[in-house]
Amino acid sequence: MSDRQLNILFFFATIFVFLLFSEGADHTRFYLAIVLSVLFVSAAFVLNWLTLDGATSAILFGVIALGLGGFLGAAVVLGFFVSSSLLSTNEEDSEGFFSIPFRRDGMQVWSNGFWFALWMILWFTTDSLVFLIGAVASMAFSTADTWGSEVGGHRVKGTTWQFGSFKKVDPGVDGGISVIGTIATLSGATIIGGIYWLFYQSSPIQYMLIIVIAGFIGSFVDSLVGTYLQGMKLNERFVSFSSGKIQTFDNNMTNWLSSGVTSILAIVLFLLTS
């Protein structure tokens, strides 16, 4: 499924949920979400943080985050997006005044945001805290994974091992782990858990810990998937389903799968401890 198909899917799902389940106070926040998402994403596009397709997806994602997820949803997404964009060292173009690291496209937005958006929609319709925990945990993983990859793989060089085989590899290799990268991973997950706690200070501390633990474990799931699945050629039926755009199990699919595992793990932990 392409990023444009996902945009259409989430657009109609969001409109449907908003029309059926929103109340008076939700309307104001939803309209505010549209305005702020357009403004913020426009700035991100000018700064080369997003491609055009990425900007379209990010606007819709931002509306879901704030419009349906409230200020907690917006804060969590901003915490991930701003920190990952500033940390990224993967430059596309070294020339030009606005050329800074890494432009996210539509599929990169949804590979990190699909599960967050899905759980937020379910939380808005059911008001069940379990879905909120799942949503925030998925973003804890995305932040942890990005911090670990950028700090451990690019900014601070150190001994890196291939997850599973534990053979020494070059920093930045898919599935590689290092001590400094692991510390950065835990820090990223903790930041998102801290944001949750700031908005839900009356919530049991165990819920924040679930978010941090799930996000941290999810980064190792990502390393495992990156080691054994990333780069694998996909079945012809899947290639046809994706309109021929996705030929191999790429980094976007690795992030999507790992984010899903993380959020489901958080939901299971929540149900077991509640």
The secondary structure of 90-153 as a DSSP string is: --S-S-STT--S--B-HHHHHHHHHHHHHHHHHHHHH--HHHHHHHHHHHHHHHHHHHHHHIII
| pLDDT for residue 226 | 78
Q: What is the residue extent of each domain of the chain?
A: 3-273
Per 3-state DSSP, the chain is made up of helix, strand and coil in percentages (nearest 5) of 75, 5, 25
pTM of the model: 0.84
More confident residue, 175 or 238: 175
> Which residues, at least 6 apart from 179, have a Cβ–Cβ distance to it below 8 Å?
158, 159
Q: Are 141 and 134 in contact (CB under 8 A)?
A: no
pLDDT tens-place string over residues 219-243:
989 888 877 777 666 655 544 445 5
Share of the chain above pLDDT 70, in %: 78
Q: Which residue has the tokens 């104001």?
A: 28
| pLDDT for residue 96 | 36
| pLDDT for residue 157 | 63
Q: Are 216 and 261 in contact (CB under 8 A)?
A: no
Residue 168 DSSP symbol: E
Mean pLDDT of 126-150: 93
CA dihedral 170, 173, 177, 181 (to 10 degrees): 90
The kind and range of the H/E element at 199 are helix 179-199
pLDDT tens-place string over residues 42-94:
998 888 878 888 899 999 999 999 999 999 999 999 999 888 777 765 444 43
Q: Are 146 and 87 in contact (CB under 8 A)?
A: yes
Amino acid, res. 198: L
Band the pLDDT of 216: cuts 50, 70, 90: very high
More confident residue, 244 or 33: 33
Q: Mutual orientation of helices 251-273 and 129-150 as an angle, nearest 10°? A: 140
CA atoms within 13 A on the CB side of 83: 25
